[in-house]
A = this chain, B = another copy of it.
């Protein structure tokens, strides 16, 4: 393991990219903007999927699958949606290749042009609502609560692994309701599912709030978001939940007969999180030694590294590790015994460190004789020697403690960089240093745009569960009256 991680202080962006590579999470592919998610990275995503999927199902959501391709004309049906999503996308125009008559491999068969181009889904509202039309006749058919786990494509010019890629993996929930109230309640419910997941599983303190109209999803009447602070003080939008009103119901003619027999358009929500969560996880917790994973999402929670010279030592140490691993697995803890014989212990230590494994156990013949074992925790980079007999018993509590500590560290970091600001000059000076500034805003898109043009900062959200400041004041930029503060930050 040759660690070549650029320190955060030197180059934060390079630090991030180094961790993605050195921790074996992902790599660039031959296709511009499309990444390969490597097994170790994918194992973290699988854990996220499994937990989220269970949380969705507990709220009555069912999984389904809708087509990858969307007819081009569908995008024209919802006016705002087309503006937001039908721009940079992958367009399928032909359905056949043929041998090059000139003998140079294969070429597109000009006779196989599609009558209507197909768009690789950038998001699936349009195709899904075209299907919901068949499913909805009466109020009894509602609500429809569907989710799909799938890939989507948004052609991106500048890409970064997990944070912004042309193809990414996500889940998109799409629900249809008989009333606006029910759809709004679902919008709120799902953003809180995301917040709970971020806090409990990712150890990520997030602020929940409404997006300003400028930052809303294309076609939404309201967008709720969870926003996290990264270690450079920038904001990362980690998940969104949209109340779409009757826009898609009307565009795709999804009407139902109410109990009174009158026809009405169905009300919509959509909500999604993506492999971007991987980027948030990496950026929020890791250090200059590599990845730090919260135990709740770590594919390997405990790595065991044997230390030996002779073969008999190796056998004795591995035997003890097998015994400990069995006891830990019985407690639901995932364990890796690193019995590779061609690598030195120091190399292995570095590898599990850079990969963010929360706990490492090291055991040699001398320890074994003394009945002791070395236990290392990744989050604090501290080690201590404990009794072998007590180690299995103590690990669940240690993992809990690490999970809490990682959350507390991230929260303390964020607290040190959140402040109220009421002065425009001060705002301009502070916003670029990586802060969440709680400021008054006059509620107009024009002011938000002017602030963005001047500083790159945007309103991350109008908070509803943290940093809520319902107090009158004056807009930081325009000086017009305001009822509450909102969160400004520079975002990924």
- On A, residues with C-beta under 8 Å from B are 27, 29-31, 34-39, 42-43, 45-46, 62-76, 82, 86-98, 105-106, 108, 112, 117-120, 127, 130-131, 134, 140, 146, 150-151, 153, 155, 167, 169, 342
CB pair B34 A67 closer than 8 Å: yes
CB distance from A253 to the nearest CB of B (A): 13
Partner of A34, one of B42, B68, B88, B119: B68
Q: Please, how many angstroms separate the alpha-carbon atoms of A199 and B93 in the complex? A: 42
Top-7 shortest CB links A-B: A76-B105, A34-B67, A39-B62, A37-B65, A91-B94, A95-B155, A93-B93
CB pair A71 B30 closer than 8 Å: yes
CB pair A89 B93 closer than 8 Å: no
Residues of B within 8 Å of A169, CB to CB, are 65
Residues of B within 8 Å of A43, CB to CB, are 62-63
CB pair B67 A42 closer than 8 Å: no
CB pair A36 B117 closer than 8 Å: no
CB pair B95 A92 closer than 8 Å: no
Question: Quick one: given A73-B105, A90-B118, are A29 and B64 in contact (CB under 8 Å)?
Answer: no
CB pair A63 B42 closer than 8 Å: yes
CB pair A69 B90 closer than 8 Å: yes
Residues of B within 8 Å of A66, CB to CB, are 29, 36
CB pair A65 B93 closer than 8 Å: no
Q: Please, how many angstroms separate the alpha-carbon atoms of A312 and B424 in the complex? A: 68
Question: Quick one: given A64-B39, A95-B88, are A69 and B117 in contact (CB under 8 Å)?
Answer: no
Partner of A86, one of B64, B88, B106, B151: B106
Q: Please, how many angstroms separate the alpha-carbon atoms of A458 and B97 in the complex? A: 27
CB pair B31 A67 closer than 8 Å: yes
Partner of A29, one of B39, B89, B105, B127: B127
CB pair B108 A97 closer than 8 Å: no
Residues of B within 8 Å of A65, CB to CB, are 36-37, 42, 45, 169
Specify how many copies of this chain sit in the oligomer.
Answer: 2
CB distance from A181 to the nearest CB of B (A): 22
Q: Please, how many angstroms separate the alpha-carbon atoms of A112 and B117 in the complex? A: 14
Closest to A98 in B: B87
Partner of A153, one of B29, B42, B68, B130: B68
Residues of B within 8 Å of A38, CB to CB, are 64
CB pair A64 B37 closer than 8 Å: yes
Interface centre among A36, A112, A153 (most CB of B within 10 A): A36
Q: Please, how many angstroms separate the alpha-carbon atoms of A223 and B353 in the complex? A: 42
Residues of B within 8 Å of A140, CB to CB, are 342
Would you mind naming 30 contact pairs between A and B with Cβ atoms under 8 Å apart? Answer: A27-B134, A29-B131, A30-B130, A30-B131, A31-B67, A31-B118, A31-B127, A35-B67, A36-B131, A37-B65, A38-B64, A39-B62, A42-B62, A42-B63, A42-B65, A43-B63, A68-B120, A68-B153, A69-B90, A82-B105, A86-B97, A87-B98, A89-B95, A90-B92, A90-B95, A91-B94, A91-B97, A92-B120, A97-B119, A151-B151
18 new A-B pairs (CB below 8 Å) besides A27-B134, A29-B66, A97-B119? Answer: A27-B131, A29-B67, A31-B127, A34-B67, A34-B68, A36-B131, A43-B62, A43-B63, A67-B167, A68-B153, A72-B108, A73-B105, A76-B105, A87-B96, A87-B97, A90-B95, A92-B92, A151-B151
Q: Please, how many angstroms separate the alpha-carbon atoms of A231 and B487 in the complex? A: 63
